[in-house]
Copies of this chain bind each other. A is one copy, B any other.
Amino acid sequence: MVVYNPMFLRVNLSAGEARREQVPWEIVKLYVGGRGFGIRYLYDELKAGVDPLGEENKLLLLTGPLAGTGALAFTRWVVVTKSPLTGAFIRSAVGGDFGAWMAFASLDFILVEGQSAKPVYLYIEGETSKVMDASSLWEKDTLATQEKLVKIHGEGIRTACIGPAGENLVRYAGIFTGRRSASRGGTGAVMGSKNLKAVVVKRIRAYKKPLAAAETFRKLVREQAGTFKASPMFAMFQQTGTGGGLATKLNSMGMFPVRNFRWGELPSYQNLSAQEFLRIVEKNVGCFTCPVNCGKVRRVADGPFKGAVSEGPEGETIAAFAGGIACPDVGFLVAADALCDDLGLDTLSTASAISLAYEMFEKGLLTTADTDGLQLKYGDPQPAMLLIKKIAQREGIGDLLAEGAARAATRLGRGAEDLAMHVKGLDMAAYDPRGAKGMGLNYATANIGAHAPYGYARQEIQGVPIPRAVDRLAEDGKGDIVKFNQDEEAALELGIGCNFCLQMNFTPLGHMAKLLQAATGVAEFGEVEYLLTAGERIYNLERLFNIREGFGRRDDTLPKRIQEPILKCSIEGEMVRNLGAMLDEYYQVRGWSREGVPTSEKLEQLGIAR
């Protein structure tokens, strides 16, 4: 029996109203949940060309059908909107408990539209919701905001909120829950533009999510636990978090993004070994029902950043900051991570903007006259810390950098365009794609811009031969691999599964399918092929959204630097040589035209109504 009946809360901030709506079954069947609902509603409800920071943009906070059940690592949630950083579709994914708390309020997602005249927050408790005054929260950082809300509403709440960066419309401000964030693409700026400081959900203890086959479901969760524990990655994530050993690994692969992606190895990278990070771990924290607890609360023990505390940094943040300013210092990394989290910034785009500034300063393209007097010298972390604050407050040079590396470079001129490391405006972080060409093709084509987990090339980065083994340096024959990775990730975000599951469980969709069927009672959801097709459907609809916004083949590109030889590393001289041929192959595998537009045949095959 089908017990799946997805509901969402439509919140109109212009009117100050909210109402519950049901997702029509024809959408449910084809788009399953989570990211699927996100793009379908965004595509259907947004006109082309709206201002991402204007009243017409909409913001969706979506969890999946497995949130709030006992399934492990399926409480992720995603934010979907039109990005103020890229002007394209954005989905930013995050963990914590908030997804489960939405589920406990019988909500699959929250759709925010309009704009409030003054600061407000949304409060949800069971079936009720109200828009409340947020003037006492405004200007507070993300931690203080959440603490204040706990004082007002008690411990039973979970909050998604913005910090000063979101209020100040920094184009890569994020939405934070606990110390985790959905921050790629400036979701927090969209929230800020709507004068929405926070969304608060209170858990109603009595609520229990209905399950179509409860006994089977419990058995599957036990199997899932076994699979996790058997995985070679489980212990690593559990012990060292996502950052454990990534610096060492990237370095040995020649893929550490050093000095704004000029070199592939970081001198003294040994200072960033898993052991160094382990040394200062105080506590492990994780998401609702997840046994991994990959979040590592670290406190800097000595040096200039002594006392700084962060639930991080995670792996890509380590690479982006340490490589970006050539500063392999754990203390700095923890302090920078904490500061970004407090102020409500995406660490990856923050690091990218700062990396651009450091390189331009080295080259004399920026001087102290531009930088409010700061000397941006490689290896010196203090100016970077000041830049983070300036960005969040849009103060001095921070106002320029708050626009993101791509826009800042265009405004500056001075040849800076070639130095901004982004695709479609979204900044690249770890994983220099010259050392993993399929990852590069993913960066070039991903609907949201350069983002590793949008189609994580585990074949190249980890050697997993699924669906087949590949040579990480080869350009030929990567089209089908990239499509597979992107569609598999999209399928996983129907659940919504944590993408570390992809790494911990070699065939994660198999498990998710069984769990989905047992939870919802929808037989089709139990088939991996059905989910992969749904993933492809979503991926194509996101592409159509971007095409409607004017994106095309010319935007499927990589920074000039990536198409030039990498320096100072074990793969010295490697580059992306023929991106055009890679795109041709990829488009063909995707069933798209030579210009990168899905053909009518492909859309018909996927059942996509425009």
* Chain A residues engaging chain B, CB cutoff 8 angstroms: 223, 226-227, 229-236, 238-239, 244-245, 248-249, 252-253, 273-275, 278, 460-466, 469, 471-473, 503, 505-507, 510
Between-chain CB contacts (< 8 Å), 7 pairs: A223-B471, A229-B252, A231-B463, A235-B249, A236-B236, A239-B274, A465-B506
Nearest CB of chain B from residue A165's CB, rounded to whole Å: 33
Whether A274 pairs with B235 at a CB distance below 8 angstroms is yes
Residue of B nearest to A250 (CB): B229
* A238 proximity list for chain B (CB < 8 A): 245, 248
Alpha-carbon distance between A127 and B605 when the two chains are bound, in angstroms: 71
Which residues from B are CB-within-8-Å of A226? 253, 472-473
Q: Give the number of times this chain occurs in the complex, counting copies.
A: 2
State in angstroms the CA–CA spacing of A99 and B588 once bound together: 51
Q: Report A213 CB to chain B, min CB distance, Å.
A: 19
Most buried by B among A230, A252, A273: A230
- Are B273 and A239 within 8 A (Cβ)? yes
A253 to B229, CA, bound (A): 7
* Cβ A507 vs Cβ B236 within 8 A: no
Given contact pairs A235-B244, A469-B506, A227 touches B463 in the complex (Cβ within 8 A): yes
| Cα–Cα, bound, A314→B278 (Å) | 21
Q: Is the pair B506, A230 in contact by a Cβ cutoff of 8 Å?
A: no
Out of B274, B472, B473, B505, name the residue touching A463 (CB < 8 Å): B505
CA distance A509 to B239 in the complex (A): 30
Looking at the complex, which one of B229, B232, B463 makes contact with A230 (CB distance below 8 Å)? B463
Contact B274 A275 (CB under 8 A): no
CB distance from A79 to the nearest CB of B (A): 29
B232 touching A462 by the CB < 8 A rule?
Answer: yes
Are B245's CB and A229's CB within 8 A?
no
- In the complex, residue of chain B having the shortest beta-carbon distance to the beta carbon of A237: B232
Bound Cα distance A238, B238 (Å): 17
Q: A507-B465, A507-B469 are in contact. Are A230 and B460 (CB under 8 A)?
A: yes
Instruction: Collect the chain B residues with CB atoms within 8 Å of residue A460's CB.
Output: 230
Docked-complex contact B235 and A233, CB < 8 angstroms: no
A233: chain B residues within 8 A (beta carbon): 232
Complex interface: chain B residues within 8 A of A461 (CB):
230
